[in-house]
Structure formats: structure tokens, C-alpha cells
Amino acid sequence: SGGGGGTQLVVAMYTFQGRSAGELSFQKGDRLEVLSETDNDWWLARNLSNLAEGYIPKNHVALATSLECQDWYFGRIARKEAEKLLMDPVNQRGTFLIRLSEQASHGYSLSIRDWDQQKGEHVKHYRIRQTDAGGFYITSAQAFRSLNELVDAYSRNNYGLACLLQHPCARPRPQQWDLSRETKDQWEIERTTLTFVKKLGQGTFGEVWYGMWNNRIEVAI
């Protein structure tokens, strides 16, 4: 493995349907063993749920031992972006995420969707501070050994927060610019792999069509 030393286990953050031969399909939550990291965008992996092997898009998985594999951890996103994600209509009161703090170099922030009669739907932000011993707290009366423990505790008791933590925020699927691993470095696609479904309009460079690639992926042609 390109990571060196030992086998890397990763967790699927999204469901992925293989699009071409050699790609490995997996469900959100599946654990996968990384066999090779020779490609920047696609890793060779084995799905531990069925032992199938194939290539996976690396932006769909996170290290099993990392914070990134937690559904509620969004890493380095801005406060405004957190508010935009949480205010999506699919989310309800108590939906939350944890992100790296924009102010504190080592701290984290908890962002929660809330509702009250004065403000209606809105987002509240709480600074998560760290103790000298490496623990985490929002109020000094309640310190926890890990962010996992903090989330578990505030899911059961709000300890003065606006509301209980209910569900991790819905996560936008990462962009995939390639149709598949096979087409990663291709600028032209075989016409026989395309199905023309409906003409969308006339552009500067000719007609624009809505269609399917390999009868699986929606494309503009």
C-alpha cells in the first residue's frame, strides 16, 4: 500500500455504485481494506462485507480511526457554510455538525439547527474547548474524553444547550468529475456508450442533448 506500514481500514461515507469494470460498489457504512493507493483519486480496496475487490473513489471514504469517519464531523468548513447546510429543508430542529473552529487554532465548534418563536428556524454555534488533559467541553461543568463522548452525552441531555442533538446534518455528496475510473484521462467518450434521450437546446457549438452514458449515468451531450 502507498500509505506504508500495515493495512488501512476505511469507512464508506456514501453509497457508491460501480460504473465500469473494475470498480467496487459499496454501501454507506461498509468497512473496506485499502490494498493500493497508487492512484490519486481511486484506491484498490476489498469490501469486508462481501470480500469483493475493486477500485473505489477515495473521496467517498474516510479512515476508520479518524474523526472524518463520523457522520457529524465536517472538518474545515466556514460558519456560513455550516448554517447553509443545516438550514436545508431536509434537516429538522436538533440537526447538528461539528467543525474546526474558525477562531481557535486547535478548537472545534458545534453548530445546531434550532427553532423558537422569536427567531423561527435558525442555527446556534457553541465553541468546544479542550482541557490540558486532552478532554473536550462546552461548559466547564461537563468535560468528556472525546468528541464521540460529548456527542453521545448531549444526545441524551442538553446540559443547557438550546436542544438535544438529534441527527447529523445531511452531507452533500462529493463531486466526481470523471464518468468512471476508466474515463479519468479520456477527453473523448466512445459514441456507442452514449444514449441520446432528449434535445435540451441549441448552443454555440451545436445541439445539447440530455442522455445516458452506459445506460447508467446521466450526462449532457
pLDDT tens digits, 75-120: 999 999 999 999 999 999 999 999 999 876 778 999 999 999 999 9
The model's pTM is 0.73
pLDDT digits (tens, 9 = 90+) for 118-170: 999 999 999 999 998 889 999 988 999 999 999 999 999 999 999 999 999 99
Transcribe the chain into DSSP letters: -TT-SSPEEEEESS-B---STTBPPB-TT-EEEEEE--SSSEEEEEETTT--EEEEEGGGEEETTSGGGSTTEEES--HHHHHHHHTSTT--TT-EEEEE-SSSSS-EEEEEEEEETTTEEEEEEEEEEE-TTS-EESSTTSEESSHHHHHHHHHH--TTSSS----BPP-PPPP--SSSSTTTT-SS--GGGEEEEEEEEEETTEEEEEEEETTTEEEE-
Domains annotated for the chain, with CATH where assigned, are 8-65 (2.30.30.40), 70-156 (3.30.505.10), 191-220 (no CATH)
